[in-house]
Amino acid sequence: MAADQKVILVTGGSGLVGKAIERVVQDEKRDDEKWIFVSSKDADLTDRDATKAMFAKHKPTHVIHLAAFVGGLFRNLKYNLDFFRVNSIINDNVLHTSYETGVKKVVSCLSTCIFPDKTTYPIDETMVHNGPPHSSNFGYSFAKRMIDVQNRGYHTQHGCNFTSVIPTNVFGPYDNFNLEDGHVLPGLINKVHTAKKNSTPFVVWGTGSPRRQFIYSLDLARLFLWVLREYNEIDPIILSVGEEDEVSIREAAELVVEAMDFKGEVKYDTEKSDGQFKKTASNAKLRKYLPDFKFTPIKQAIKETCNWFEQNPDKVRL
């Protein structure tokens, strides 16, 4: 292997973000990079020995760490303790094994939903640890925040180049479209599909008023490659569309209705929890580095995701 050859291991490689990175890597191959995408079938990352064995097998020089126990509001509300424990163990196994095996760079994934609940807007990268997260997902949030603590620790104590990115709500092909466990947008797509098929109303959970910045998984994947190749800070960077591109759940639902050409009744079940009202994030730091990066317009990205959902029933995770 040439001295400058990179071996990039992507944990969580079978998921929404991992599949998008795989696709973007195929489109812009580089000779000095060998990519390996792994899932829980290759190694259960809650198991330290299995994690070590996988690193010994692939000998990565770089790691994109995506693997996590994830889910939407309703799964978080039910399993806060599991979210904390499972994610803490996975992260410790991946980061410590990376350190022990001399991995040159690790890019881990945080999320904008880990920011303090009571905050000023827009949220930026300096605010990760400023106060308690929303009570609905405190387990996931504290586990994710500790990645930043570990990155700083591995850097100050051992000189490691471990960093993290903070995406907003991601959506795209290969998402989890399960209604109970998944995120809001794939849930809306699944519900419109069912409502269309059964000629029943499309019921949106909550009031539709909360606001979110959605990022298309393929845009996020392109940004991940940039972070891996060019970004050299230990501090996290928010990967998001601009504040002006935030939409309400109602607007997102209407885009799904339009993309899937649904003509039936749309209802809002206001008995269901809305979750955090908004978590508007600033992408000023990203824009300082990449002023010209073009995000896919949300209407087009939702249309592409709906098309993928309808055309790939065998690949849809329900």
Q: Which residues are catalytic?
A: 140
Among 24-32, 61-69, 192-200, 279-287, the segment contacting ligand NAP (CB under 6 A) = 61-69
Give every CB contact of residue 149 below 8 A, 6+ residues apart in sequence. Answer: none
Among 21-29, 145-153, 163-171, 244-252, the segment contacting ligand NAP (CB under 6 A) = 163-171
CB of 111 or CB of 136, closer to ligand NAP: 111
Among 125-133, 149-157, 168-176, 201-209, the segment contacting ligand NAP (CB under 6 A) = 168-176
Check binding of 22 to ligand NAP (CB under 6 A): no
CB of 40 or CB of 119, closer to ligand NAP: 40
Residues across the chain = 318
Residue 56 CB, nearest approach to ligand NAP (Å): 16
Among 8, 90, 107, 249, binds ligand NAP (CB under 6 A): 90
Check binding of 187 to ligand NAP (CB under 6 A): no
Among 26-34, 66-74, 120-128, 299-307, the segment contacting ligand NAP (CB under 6 A) = 66-74
Residue 20 CB, nearest approach to ligand NAP (Å): 8
Residue 31 CB, nearest approach to ligand NAP (Å): 27
Give me the sign of the Cα torsion angle 259, 296, 215, 61: positive
User: Both tokens of residue 280?
Assistant: 């508007």
Check binding of 68 to ligand NAP (CB under 6 A): yes
Residue 32 CB, nearest approach to ligand NAP (Å): 25
Among 133, 139, 167, 208, binds ligand NAP (CB under 6 A): 167
Among 21, 54, 170, 281, binds ligand NAP (CB under 6 A): 170
CA geometry: angle at 87 spanning 86 and 89, to 5°?
Answer: 70
CB of 115 or CB of 202, closer to ligand NAP: 115
Check binding of 69 to ligand NAP (CB under 6 A): yes
Check binding of 252 to ligand NAP (CB under 6 A): no
- For residue 250, the one-letter residue type is R
Dihedral angle of Cα 83, 89, 93, 96, to the nearest 10 degrees: 110
Nearest-angstrom CA–CA distance, 101 and 95: 10
Among 24, 54, 70, 221, binds ligand NAP (CB under 6 A): 70
Residue numbers of the site for ligand NAP (CB under 6 A)?
Answer: 12-18, 39-41, 44-46, 66-70, 90, 109, 111, 167, 169-170, 176, 183
